[in-house]
Amino acid sequence: MPAISLAKAPQPAATNPAQIRNFCIIAHIDHGKSTLADRMLGITEVVDARNMRAQYLDRMDIERERGITIKSQAVRLPWRSGIDGQEYILNMIDTPGHVDFTYEVSRSLAACEGAVLLVDCAQGIEAQTLANLYLAMENNLTIIPVLNKIDLPNAQPDKFAAELARLIGCQPEDCLRVSGKTGDGVAELLDQIVAQIPAPVGDANAPARALIFDSVYDSYRGVVTYIRVIDGRINPREQIQMFSTGVRHEALEVGVISPEPVPSKGLGVGEVGYLITGVKDVRQSRVGDTVTNYQNPTKAPLAGYKDPKPMVFSGLFPLDGADFPLLRDALDKLQLNDAALVYEPESSAALGFGFRCGFLGLLHMEIVRERLERESGISLISTAPNVVYRVTLEDGKEFVVTNPSEFPDGKINSVKEPIVKCTILAPSEYIGTIMELCQERRGTMQGMDYISEDRVEIRYTLPLAEIVFDFFDQLKSRTKGYASLDYEELGDEEGNLVKVDILLQGEAVDAFSAIVHRDKAYSYGVMMTGKLRELIPRQQFEVPIQAAIGSRIIARESIRAIRKDVLAKCYGGDISRKRKLLEKQKEGKKRMKMVGRVEVPQEAFVAALATDADIEKIKAARKQD
Amino acid sequence: MLSFYVHIPYCIKRCGYCDFNTYTPNELQDGASLEIVSNDYIDAVLLELDAAPLDEVPTIFFGGGTPSLLPAKDLGRVIAAIKARNGITADCEITLEANPDSVTEEKLQGYLEAGFNRISFGMQSAQPHVLAVLDRTHNPANVKRAVDMARAAGFKSISVDLIYGTPGESLEDCRATVTEALSLDIDHISAYALIVETGTKLAAQIKRGDLTMPIDDLMADMYLLVDQMCNQAGLNWYELSNWAKPGHECQHNIAYWKSANWWGLGPGAHSHVDKKRFWNVKHPTAYKQKLFAKESPVAESENLTDEQLRDEAIMLAIRMRTGLALSSLSKQGQDNLQAYVATGHVEILDSQIQLTAQGRLIADRLVREALG
- Can you list the positions of beta strands (E) in A367-443? 380-382, 389-393, 398-401, 412-427
Candidates B192, B264, B364; nearest CB to A565:
B364
Q: Average per-residue pLDDT in chain A?
A: 87
ipTM, 2 dp: 0.87
> Could A563 and B270 be called an inter-chain contact, meaning their C-beta atoms sit closer than 8 Å?
no
The size of the A-B interface in CB pairs under 8 A is 96
Contact list, A566 vs chain B (CB under 8 Å):
240, 360-365
C-alpha closest to that of A279 among A261, A310, A253: A253
DSSP B10-37: B-SS--TT--SS-B-HHHHSTT--HHHH
Q: Is A572 on the interface with B (CB under 8 A)?
A: yes
Q: What is the per-residue pLDDT across B263-289, written as a single tens digit (0 to 9) for each?
A: 999 999 999 999 999 999 999 999 999
Residues from chain A contacting residue B316 (CB–CB below 8 Å): 570, 575
A582:B192 CB<8 A: no
pLDDT given for residue A97 in this prediction: 58
Give the best residue of A505, A539, A540, A590 to mutate against chain B (max B CB count within 10 A).
A540
Chain A residue numbers touching B368 (CB-CB < 8 A): 582, 585-586, 589
Share of chain A above pLDDT 70, in %: 93
Q: In whole angstroms, what is the distance from residue A541 CA to residue A539 CA?
A: 5
What pLDDT is attached to residue A553? 96
Residues of chain B positioned with their CB less than 8 A from the CB of A565: 361-365
The span from the CA of A293 to the CA of A234, in Å, is: 7
Task: Please write the tens of the pLDDT for every residue from B225-272.
Answer: 999 999 999 999 999 999 999 999 999 999 999 999 999 999 999 999
Contact in structure between A289 and A243 (CB atoms under 8 Å): yes
Q: What angle do CA A607, A613, A614 make, to 5 degrees?
A: 40
CA-atom Rg of chain A in angstroms? 28
When pLDDT is averaged across residues B14-23 and rounded to a whole number, the result is 89
Q: Which chain A residues contact residue B219 at CB under 8 A?
A: 563-564
**For residue A74, what are the β-bridge partners?**
A93
- The reply to whether residue B368 touches residue A597, judged by beta carbons under 8 angstroms, is no
B316, A570: Cβ pair inside 8 Å?
Answer: yes
Average pLDDT, integer, range B327-331: 94
Please report, as a single letter, which amino acid is at residue A546. Answer: Q
Confidence of residue A503 (pLDDT cuts 50, 70, 90): very high
Residues of A within 8 A of B7 (CB-CB) are none
How many C-beta neighbours within 10 Å does residue B152 have? 12
Cβ-Cβ contacts under 8 Å, B223 against chain A: 564
Judge whether B321 and B244 are in contact, CB under 8 Å: no
Residue of A nearest to B307 (CA): A583
Q: Does A583 touch chain B (CB under 8 A)?
A: yes
- 8-state DSSP, A97: -
What value does the mean pLDDT take over residues A174-191? 94
Strand B157-164 and strand B118-124: pairing?
parallel
Q: How far apart are CA A408 and CA A280, in angstroms?
A: 38
Are the Cβ atoms of B311 and A583 closer than 8 angstroms?
yes
Sheet holding A312-318, edge to edge: A342-348, A352-359, A312-318, A380-382
Contact A575 B262 (CB under 8 A): no
Q: How far, rounded to the nearest angstrom, does the alpha carbon of residue B299 sit from its chain's CA centroid? A: 22
A54 pLDDT more than 80: no
Digit-coded pLDDT (tens) for B119-144: 999 999 999 999 999 998 788 889 99
- pLDDT at residue A279, rounded to an integer: 86
In this predicted structure, what is the pLDDT of residue A308?
79
Number of H helices, E strands in chain A: 14, 31
Q: Do B257 and A585 touch (CB under 8 A)?
A: no
Q: Is A576 on the interface with B (CB under 8 A)?
A: yes
Cβ contact, residue pair B268, A573, below 8 Å: yes
CA distance A586 to chain B (A): 7
Supply the pLDDT for residue A376.
84
User: Are the C-beta atoms of residues A353 and A324 closer than 8 Å to each other?
Assistant: yes
Tens digit of each residue's pLDDT (9 = 90 or more) over A223-263: 889 999 999 999 999 999 999 888 899 999 999 988 778 89
Nearest CB among A563, A570, A575 relative to B216 is that of A563
Amino acid at A164: L
Residues B158-201 have pLDDT tens digits of 999 999 999 999 999 999 999 999 999 999 999 999 999 999 99
For the ranges A84-93, A284-293, B26-35, B182-191, the lowest mean pLDDT is seen at B26-35
Which amino acid, residue B365? Answer: R
